[in-house]
Structure 1
Amino acid sequence: MSIPENIELEDISDFKGTTLNHVPADLPDTLPILPLSNNVIFPSTITPVAIGKKKSIAAVDAATRGNKMLMATAMKSSERENAEDSPTNFYSIGTIVLVLKMLKMPDGTMRILVQGTSKAVINEIVGTEPYITAKITKIEETATKTKEIEALMRNTSDLINRIVNMVSYLPEELQSATMSIEDPLMLVYLVSTLFRMKIEDKQRILEYKSIVDKYKRLLSILNREIEILEIGGKIQSTVQQEMSKSQREYYLREQMKAIKHELGEVDENQAEINEISKKIEAKNLPDEARKEAERELLRLGRIPSISPEHQVIRSYLDWIIDLPWNEATKDNLDLERARKILDEDHYDL
């Protein structure tokens, strides 16, 4: 299985500065399949891929010994058992890629750098050992730069520029790159490669026949991301303001306590705590009730007197203290007296 990761090009020797290579016009109709987990490779892009499964490693080895071409296709689910051994788990539309660099790791896995060349469709699986091979057909894609498409490209560049300033994972160079790209397909595929989005969304962008549909899908995703980032920014700002306010109030309260202590004054809140504590001690409370009262008294001492919660806890403690714990009056079982009282309070009862 190929396991795409956020691999920097510096991780693989001599990968930096790679430019798009010339691809032969005549492509073979049968190629090894490179299943992709959690990734979609687009034409006209260069992508690092980490590979760990035997069949995928065998496919890359075969490609590097031959024309260096592979059919890269995303998997519908990477969580299924033997996901990359099941052709029914592959999307039928993928990208023919050219292996530019290969680096074998000490643990037997490998990292490769591939260049997407063109979109293609899997027509038929023709082999499964030692790797999966399939008959494919190249899908030609062209895009004339109309006014509508130019407007879509500008909108995409504007949104990307805003997002680059809001997140850390997109390189700042992307801002100038999006402005300089003239090819509509290259721009939509580059942004779709670098921007984090669901695999299903990337796959749909690849599959769309219409360049307008590709851009509309991408713009919808970018707009939604900006909305989420802006909401997240507002939430973060509000939280920071509340934290700053709470920290300032705490600092001022501590200063007031220190000043009163130096002046020999009694803190009103502490005086209240002491008074309630004496009442609890004087009350013959059961063990459970005493523990509860002491716990709430401790909470009361930590909460500012201006807080609404302070009054709630104070009322609760007063209620505990006022209850007649272990207190009882002598029972009077005189029925005639009871009758007289009831008749006086309730006519002819």
Structure 2
Amino acid sequence: MELNTYPLVCTRGVVLYPNQEIVIDVGRDTSVHAVENAQDNYDKKICLFSQKELEQENPATEDIYSVGTLCEVRHIRRFDNFLRVKFRGIKRVKLNKWINGSLSDLVEVEILESEKQDTVEEEALIRMIADELDRMQGQDRFVTKEIVMEISKGMGGEFLSDKAVQGLPLDLERKQKYLETLGVNDRLMMLLQDMAKEKKMSEVEKQINETVKERIDQGQKDYYLREKMNVIREELGDTVAQDEDAAKIRKRLAENPYPDYIKKKVSDEVSRYEMLPMASGETGVIKAYIDWLMDLPWWQQTKDNEDLNAAEATLNADHYGLEKVKERILEYLAVKQMTNSLNAPIICLVGPPGVGKTSLAKSVARALDRKFVKMSLGGVRDEAEIRGHRRTYLGALPGRIIQGMKKAGVTNPVFLIDEIDKMASDYKGDPSSAMLEVLDPEQNSVFSDHYIEEPYDLSKVLFIATANYLENIPPALRDRLEIIELSSYTDAEKVHIAKDHLVPKQLKLNGLKPSQLKIDDDMLLYLIRYYTREAGVRSLERTIATICRKTVLAILKNNKRSIKLTKKLVHEWLGNEKVDYGKKEKKDQVGTVTGLAYTSFGGDILQIEATRFTGKGRLVLTGQLGDVMKESASIALDYVRTHATEFKIDPKLFEENDVHIHVPEGAVPKDGPSAGVTMTTALVSCFSNIPVKANLAMTGEVTLRGNVLPIGGLKEKSLAAHRSGIDTILIPKENVKDLDDVPQEVKDAVTFIPCSNVSQVLHNALVK
């Protein structure tokens, strides 16, 4: 057995036979080095072995076929990243050993010779192949003039089998099989079989081509018949309506400044519409789509009210207070006037129910002289509600955004997106994700609706969203919104709103004249405090409506001319007082401190009580307290124990007594980080027997070092204290900046004392 060593190149999908030439692009570093190695050291001799898997980047012995071809490098052309090499096959070789080199690999191979078989059979096979090639010449791509000429020269079976198979469209395994088959007659037999198979394939292809041609001809025939049918229908007068529709659409397109891409889209759809018979189910679908495209506002817009004073007057007439929102709208108008072009902001009004978020959006539209449209997202689960349905679905419609724009009829309405925090998601998609494109000023100039299929510009729309709870809005959506928080109304603001808006509105709705029912400010305040408990004014409006109805009944039944509302009448008509606000203590007491609470209905005061009795140093907490308040109580007790000597308290008392802290109204859950100083003061008072001032309230969280931490809701808490008759409030020093939000009437009546540590709190709270 003769063994020789040569450089190795692994080919992908290529098999080279002896006496044949092929050009291959060589790109892998190892292959490039192998070609150069063959040039320099192996008399241009190299071995090509084919990979089993084309994707294999670094093949090993098991990844290549065992039989390959010994070749001669005939020509090399160099490019930047690869070599283009012409190889000529010499002999079949069998892989004996793979030798890994530093730059390129070598293979030790055994030379394989073709085996001559029966001579007569060989000649018969050659003749059959020659006849078959002669018949197939001009019909098949692989039968070239070159092969026919070679046969006419009388080439042998060995040469013919290798030459003819090179052009056959065979898969890699079959080509490799030819290389591995050493018997000449065996290869010729395989060649004859593959040629017969190729001939059959050609016949099938020809048949398919004829079928396709017949169908195309049938399509042209159908078109001709359809045109003929249209002429007949025209003679009968069936297509008049369809043609009139198309003519109207084209006329409307020509007369109006629709965008070019919409004109093209509508023209294409009109052409399709005209081609279809009237009875076709698709005509209605196409007509509906054309109507949507034509009816949507593409260029129409209203002119904004540029009189800033008039806009401010409109906002003030509709709403009392809400200064931040009004200021933001006026800023928008001013900047728009100054720049003459401005992407509309996405404003989100966040606040409890009934504070006027929705009605404020309507007032903004009135102030700007813009059209107003509203879309409520409460309970919306399907993404198609926002983006629309694909036109392929039966009964498809655009999404609510596009529907709202069509309803507005202009490109720059005020668009209210109500209850944006109430969206849900299920298997039909996540509508909050679809809202990202609508509410992102960077994206909404090319908003895409599944039904319309063409980009729609929402950048001129002034979107105003409303929400009750900011934390329910997904973070990605919240990031695109300009959040403006609306806090609950103060009692004074509610009186103004009732006097200026609610009472006149309900008098009108119930057919009363202003002289027939008189409600003074004190009675309004009485209704607000003792018959409603809310952040907004919805319940107050219902209460006023009830009084108006009772008034109408009394006037008609008892023949009264007018009625002045009194407490006696209110008790008679509405029953006993429904709401009991916290009241301050009448006298200074030991272990009882007035704290301030912030609820969803506004502020309130609550008493925190502490007592001690003989025990083992346990801490008992009652009053439905949350985890944060329980921790505040533990911190307060530990702080008092640590500084017992400073407060002149005997440390043994803590070991010999149990402590009970109670926050009254045990059925109402309470939590929040603002009761620390109150509990600390109650404990110090309890253990030192020093009373706490009754006309004083406090708020703030405490640390183990005695620092007073800031709190939220100072405005609401201050109003509650003022309403309860308290004249001094202790607040954390860091909350001084929040006093700007406290109404002036409260600041005039109440003394605010900032405290940074517990010592200052106790100095001001305990009776000297």
TM-score by length of 1: 0.64
Matched, 1:88 2:58: no
Match of 1:130 among 90, 103, 126: 103
Structure showing greater radius of gyration is 2
Structure-1 residue corresponding to 2:193: 220
Structure-2 residue corresponding to 1:100: 74
Q: CA deviation at 1:144?
A: 5.8
Question: 1:235-314 alignment to 2 at 5 Å?
Answer: 235-255=208-228, 257-258=230-231, 261=234, 265-266=235-236, 270=239, 302=276
- 1:230–1:70: structure 2 CA closer, same or farther, 3 Å change rule? same
Matched, 1:34 2:9: yes
Q: What letter is aligned with 1:36?
A: T
Note if contact 1:126-1:134 (Cα within 8 Å) is conserved in structure 2: yes
- 1:226–1:272: structure 2 CA closer, same or farther, 3 Å change rule? farther
Note if contact 2:116-2:185 (Cα within 8 Å) is conserved in structure 1: no
Note if contact 1:100-1:112 (Cα within 8 Å) is conserved in structure 2: yes
SS class of match (1:182) = coil
For 1:236 and 1:304, the matched residues in 2 are separated by 35
Structure-2 residue corresponding to 1:346: none
- 1:304–1:224: structure 2 CA closer, same or farther, 3 Å change rule? farther
Note if contact 1:143-1:184 (Cα within 8 Å) is conserved in structure 2: no
For 1:112 and 1:139, the matched residues in 2 are separated by 24
Matched, 1:71 2:42: no
Structure-2 residue corresponding to 1:323: none
Matched, 1:117 2:90: yes
- 1:300–1:151: structure 2 CA closer, same or farther, 3 Å change rule? farther
Structure-2 residue corresponding to 1:46: 21
Note if contact 2:114-2:183 (Cα within 8 Å) is conserved in structure 1: no
Q: What letter is aligned with 2:24?
A: V
Count of aligned residue pairs for this structure pair: 253
After superposition, the C-alpha distances for 1:41-71 in whole angstroms (9 at most, x for unaligned) are 1011111111000111101001111300001
For 1:205 and 1:45, the matched residues in 2 are separated by 14
SS class of match (2:7) = strand
Q: What letter is aligned with 2:89?
A: G
Structure-2 residue corresponding to 1:277: none
Structure-2 residue corresponding to 1:55: 30
Note if contact 2:113-2:182 (Cα within 8 Å) is conserved in structure 1: no
Structure-1 residue corresponding to 2:325: none
Which of 145-154 and 93-102 deviates more?
145-154
Q: What letter is aligned with 1:41?
A: L
Which ranges in structure 1 are unaligned for 5 or more consecutive residues?
A: 1-26, 275-297, 314-349
After superposition, the C-alpha distances for 1:81-102 in whole angstroms (9 at most, x for unaligned) are 423xx12212111111011111
- 1:187–1:169: structure 2 CA closer, same or farther, 3 Å change rule? closer
SS class of match (1:194) = coil
After superposition, the C-alpha distances for 1:196-235 in whole angstroms (9 at most, x for unaligned) are 2111111111111222221222222222222122111101
TM-score by length of 2: 0.30
- RMSD over aligned Cα atoms: 3.2
- 1:227–1:195: structure 2 CA closer, same or farther, 3 Å change rule? same
% of aligned pairs identical?
A: 22
Q: What letter is aligned with 1:91?
A: Y
After superposition, the C-alpha distances for 1:251-283 in whole angstroms (9 at most, x for unaligned) are 24424534774xxx2166x59999xxxxxxxxx
For 2:22 and 2:96, the matched residues in 1 are separated by 25
For 2:18 and 2:27, the matched residues in 1 are separated by 23
SS class of match (2:102) = coil
Match of 1:141 among 90, 109, 114: 114
SS class of match (1:40) = coil
Question: 1:166-181 alignment to 2 at 5 Å?
Answer: 166-168=139-141, 171-181=144-154
- 1:171–1:203: structure 2 CA closer, same or farther, 3 Å change rule? same
SS class of match (1:200) = helix
Which of 56-65 and 118-127 deviates more?
118-127
For 1:220 and 1:303, the matched residues in 2 are separated by 54
Q: CA deviation at 1:299?
A: 9.2
Structure-1 residue corresponding to 2:548: none
For 1:43 and 1:141, the matched residues in 2 are separated by 10
Q: What letter is aligned with 1:63?
A: A
Q: What letter is aligned with 1:68?
A: K
Which ranges in structure 2 are unaligned for 5 or more consecutive residues?
A: 244-271, 282-768
- 1:267–1:74: structure 2 CA closer, same or farther, 3 Å change rule? farther
Q: What letter is aligned with 1:157?
A: A
